[in-house]
Amino acid sequence: GAPKREDYCLILSIVFIFVTGVKCKSDVSLNGRTVIVTGKAYFSSLSLSLCANTGIGKETALDMARRGARVVLACRSKDRAEAAVLDIRRKTSNNQVVFMHLDLASLKSVRAFAETFLKSEPQLHILINNAGVGLVGKTEDGFSMGVGVNHFGHFLLTNLLLERLKQCVPSRVVVLASETYRMVGLDFSKLSRTEPGHTNGFLDYAHSKLCNVLFARELSNRLEGTNVTCYSVHPGEHSITWLMLILVPVAALLFRDPEGGAQTSIHCAVQEGIERFSGRYFSDCRVREVVAHARDDAVARKLWEFSERMVGLSAD
């Protein structure tokens, strides 16, 4: 027979939950705590809204500021970031929101940011590695853009700030990954420096997201007993596949708004009682099991050691 009214209500409820997602329920205060949110991200012509000065990153920073934190927007674009700082200050009445320049496509810039931050900021409690790109091309250091920014830039940044995080425990690292990690296996040849035109922007992005998941896993293993915990998260973009990239108008309907997309990052940054899940992958504010190739500790350790060499943290 014809669908009943309650059937339509159920369908609408499912769609609403799918698009808006789950809200972080924690009301914990961050007074006296310092947070870094990294930013600037585009996926080709389709924005992923992972910027700290717009989209998911800005909503994450806004939430941190509402909780009373000192928030550092670590972004490439000075003008956009400073506009975001003013907007967040206005909305939260929190004047402890500042901009510091960071270009994750340049390891030199990452080192300069870390040096400036460590000299000027005595504390760091939460590092949110939010930025990500899905562009064809290469970084200043010769890596493919996706892997260079999404993995190597954040890998170096996290390592340079790790001692400060250990000094300010309990502290956390949140790494934005994506469900696209499922689409590829780890190929170390694709992590080395590359020539322009030899990468596929989307597959490079997926590869970098697998690196993010493995990075958080190995980081957790190395931080065991320190009271610094870390989590990889799937933000609010739903199943970005080649089909969604072709069907942009349809894909747009399946993207959560920035506030909804930020909820899992916020959850992993502030929710009490999730420390036992350090190193795990979260989506919709819940821990999720990852596919086999993303929970291989031997591969995660190999990726860490390889990454140390690539960013100049190892003498090998």
pLDDT digits (tens, 9 = 90+) for 244-269: 444 344 444 444 466 778 999 999 99
Main-chain phi, psi angles of 232, to 5 degrees: -100, 145
Q: What is the C-alpha to C-alpha distance for residues 105 and 246, in angstroms, rounded to an integer?
A: 27
129 forms bridges with which residues in the sheet?
Answer: 175
Residue 205 annotated among the catalytic residues of the structure = yes
Query: Can you read off the two tokens belonging to residue 77?
Result: 């674009």
282 forms bridges with which residues in the sheet?
Answer: 233, 287
Mean pLDDT over 174-184 rounds to 94
Q: How far does Cα 86 stand from its chain's mean position?
A: 23
pLDDT digits (tens, 9 = 90+) for 56-80: 889 999 999 999 999 999 999 899 8
Nearest alpha-carbon partner for 144 in 76, 192, 209: 192
Is the model's pLDDT at 200 over the cut of 90? no
**Beta carbons within 8 Å of 34's beta carbon, 6+ residues apart:** 69, 70, 71, 72, 121, 123, 124, 125, 126, 168
126 forms bridges with which residues in the sheet?
Answer: 35, 172
Write down all domains in the chain, each with its CATH number in brackets: 24-311 (3.40.50.720)
Selection from 12-26, 206-220, 224-238 with the highest mean pLDDT: 206-220
* Catalytic residue chosen out of the listed positions 8, 181, 205, 281: 205
Is the model's pLDDT at 44 over the cut of 60? no
Asked which of 56-70, 150-164, 235-249 is least confident by mean pLDDT, the reply is 235-249
8 A C-beta contact, residue 78 and residue 50 = no
- How would residue 316 be classed by pLDDT, with cut points 50, 70 and 90? low
Mean pLDDT over 7-34 rounds to 66
